[in-house]
Amino acid sequence: MASAGQSEATENNWYSSERLERQLRDYIAITTKLIWQRQAIFIAATLLAAAYFDPAQAFACYAGVVFTEVLDLTLSRHMNNWKSGSFAQARRFLWWVMINTALSAGAIALFVITIAIQQGSGGHFTPLFFLFAAALFAAMNNHQLVPALVLRLAIYGATFLFIALLDIIRWSPPISSNAWLEFFTVVFVVYFIVDCSFVYLRLYRQGLRQYEALKQEHQRTLVAYELKSQFLSTVSHELRTPLTSIKGSLDLINSNSLGEVPKEIAPVLKIAGKNSVRLANLIDDLLDLQKIETGDMSFDFDTMDVRKLVRESVDASKGYADALGMSLDVELPQEEALIEGDHTRLTQVMENLLSNALKFSPEGSKVKVSVQIDENAVKIAVEDSGIGIPDGAEDKVFGRFSQVDGSDQRKVGGTGLGMSITKGIIDRHKGHIDYESVLGEGTTFLAVFNRVKA
């Protein structure tokens, strides 16, 4: 029980550290983002004060404000170079933010107080408006760190009350005078600013909680995804060894290497042999898919001629085409079609494209394979005369465990992984694959790669 409680406390500390870091980074980000907006306000206020009051005092106060802005930029640079994970460092940054906040708010408060003192009696609209703008700006943009917001608003609030009480202290006017009216109005304004700060604070905290919930859900999803990938890899590897033994034994029996197979048993063994091949292909596809998802599929990129790749792939598929009563036509350019690619993986791509075209084309038809070259690309086109693909079926074509004909009575078998693996391999080559199709007339798949010029 003590261990569980300690673990929970550690987890809570980790999340509080992460939350403080998030708030600090958000605070610094918005502070840096709005620096020129603040400077425009400060410069306008300074010029106005210099025109109607003491210019020396106005520019001296502005210099103090600029100094605090430089401190904020310095802190921002240190924050951007900060490596995550240290709660002690986060606390130190928080203290620096508090010091900068006190200096910045103090400089602004001193600015408006000097204007109020120079005004004498008769209301202090200009300094109070400047202070109201600064306080509202803080309520809207400094809500990420509550201690910094409270400190800044406390300094501004005290300055509000000082200016409002200035004439009251000077002249001791009756309660019915404008000086007291101004004081009560200032109290109302301070309440309004505090209320606004709570509104923005609630909105920010709500967004922060949603962000943390999404992040935790994302982490749980990543864990589940990793477990799924590990399970898929383990099961596939464990199945491959016994299946290889079963397939090898069936091949020996069906080839009559162990003696003549009785006629009654031969058809059953042939079916078993075919199904063992299908299972082996499925396991290979599952392993390839898992490697693509995790980024573990190895690639050996080298400059290669796509024409040679297509010739080899078509020659390897002729036996399958002959068995289906179909033919393969090839159209290649005279010029070299060079790309940076992995010959083994792109051979796998061609096998998937050719077998897909042959499977979905009627007996006696032709599958046309061509290579096209333009200024910056090499394109491989595989054109069949099959049933075609309906509009909006891209997700099924390149999806996992899916075929356009997904019915239980579909005529063409397969795992539904071939085109997904093909797309994954082409994506790793920084290419892309697409298709054009007309129902009842056929489909052309087009794989496009970046051309390497000789």
Taking a C-beta distance cutoff of 8 angstroms, is the pair 439, 419 a contact?
Answer: no
Taking a C-beta distance cutoff of 8 angstroms, is the pair 396, 414 a contact?
Answer: no
Which residue, 277, 339, 334, 278, is CA-closest to 305?
A: 339
Taking the C-alpha atoms of residue 446 and residue 435, their distance in angstroms, rounded to an integer, is 6
431-454: buried (b, 16+ CB within 10 Å) or exposed (e) per residue? bebebebeeeebbbbbbbbebeee
Taking the C-alpha atoms of residue 78 and residue 187, their distance in angstroms, rounded to an integer, is 39
pLDDT recorded at residue 154? 93
Taking the C-alpha atoms of residue 91 and residue 98, their distance in angstroms, rounded to an integer, is 11
Q: What Rg, from alpha-carbon coordinates, does the chain have?
A: 37
Taking the C-alpha atoms of residue 427 and residue 215, their distance in angstroms, rounded to an integer, is 28
pLDDT recorded at residue 9? 46
- pLDDT tens-digit map of 134-157: 999 999 888 888 899 999 999 999
Q: Is 302-450 assigned to CATH 3.40.30.10?
A: no
Taking the C-alpha atoms of residue 28 and residue 78, their distance in angstroms, rounded to an integer, is 10
Q: Looking at residue 213, what DSSP letter applies?
A: H
Helix, coil or strand: residue 442: strand
Instruction: Write the CB contacts of 294 (distance below 8 Å, at least 6 apart in sequence).
Output: 229
Burial of 28 (C-beta count, 10 Å sphere; 0-12/13-18/19+): buried
**What are the extents of the domains in the chain?**
2-172, 302-450
Average pLDDT over the chain reads 84
**Residue linked to tokens 């046309």:** 368
Taking the C-alpha atoms of residue 415 and residue 417, their distance in angstroms, rounded to an integer, is 5
pLDDT recorded at residue 67? 92
pTM of the model: 0.53
pLDDT band at 415 (very low <50, low <70, confident <90, very high): low
pLDDT recorded at residue 371? 93
Any bridge partners for residue 447, and if so which? 380, 433
Taking the C-alpha atoms of residue 76 and residue 84, their distance in angstroms, rounded to an integer, is 15
Taking the C-alpha atoms of residue 41 and residue 49, their distance in angstroms, rounded to an integer, is 12
CA distances from 126 to 57, 65, 311 (A): 16, 18, 84
pLDDT band at 285 (very low <50, low <70, confident <90, very high): confident
Reply yes or no on whether the pLDDT at 6 is more than 80.
Answer: no
Reply yes or no on whether the pLDDT at 83 is more than 90.
Answer: no
**Number of Cβ atoms within 10 Å of the Cβ of 303:** 11
pLDDT recorded at residue 407? 40
> How much of the chain, in percent, has pLDDT values that exceed 70?
91
pLDDT recorded at residue 281? 74
**Residue linked to tokens 């920084």:** 430
Taking the C-alpha atoms of residue 410 and residue 394, their distance in angstroms, rounded to an integer, is 19
Asked which of 76-90, 186-200, 375-389 is least confident by mean pLDDT, the reply is 76-90
Taking a C-beta distance cutoff of 8 angstroms, is the pair 13, 87 a contact?
Answer: yes
Asked which of 1-10, 313-322, 426-435, 445-454 is least confident by mean pLDDT, the reply is 1-10
Reply yes or no on whether the pLDDT at 172 is more than 90.
Answer: no
Taking a C-beta distance cutoff of 8 angstroms, is the pair 368, 392 a contact?
Answer: no
Taking the C-alpha atoms of residue 53 and residue 47, their distance in angstroms, rounded to an integer, is 10
**Residue linked to tokens 């002690």:** 88
Reply yes or no on whether the pLDDT at 420 is more than 90.
Answer: no
Reply yes or no on whether the pLDDT at 1 is more than 80.
Answer: no
pLDDT recorded at residue 22? 83
Label residue 373 left, alpha or beta by phi (over 0 means left) and psi (-120 to 50 means alpha).
beta
Reply yes or no on whether the pLDDT at 16 is more than 70.
Answer: no
Taking a C-beta distance cutoff of 8 angstroms, is the pair 412, 360 a contact?
Answer: yes
- pLDDT tens-digit map of 230-282: 776 777 777 777 877 887 888 778 777 777 878 788 888 888 878 887 787 77
Written as one letter, the residue type at 391 is: D
pLDDT recorded at residue 10? 42
Structure tokens at 190: 């301070």
pLDDT recorded at residue 403? 57
- pLDDT tens-digit map of 336-393: 999 999 999 999 999 989 988 898 888 888 999 999 998 889 999 999 988 888 887 7
Reply yes or no on whether the pLDDT at 312 is more than 90.
Answer: yes
pLDDT recorded at residue 400? 65
Instruction: Write the CB contacts of 111 (distance below 8 Å, at least 6 apart in sequence).
Output: 45, 49, 58, 61, 62, 64, 65, 130
pLDDT band at 170 (very low <50, low <70, confident <90, very high): confident
Reply yes or no on whether the pLDDT at 229 is more than 90.
Answer: no
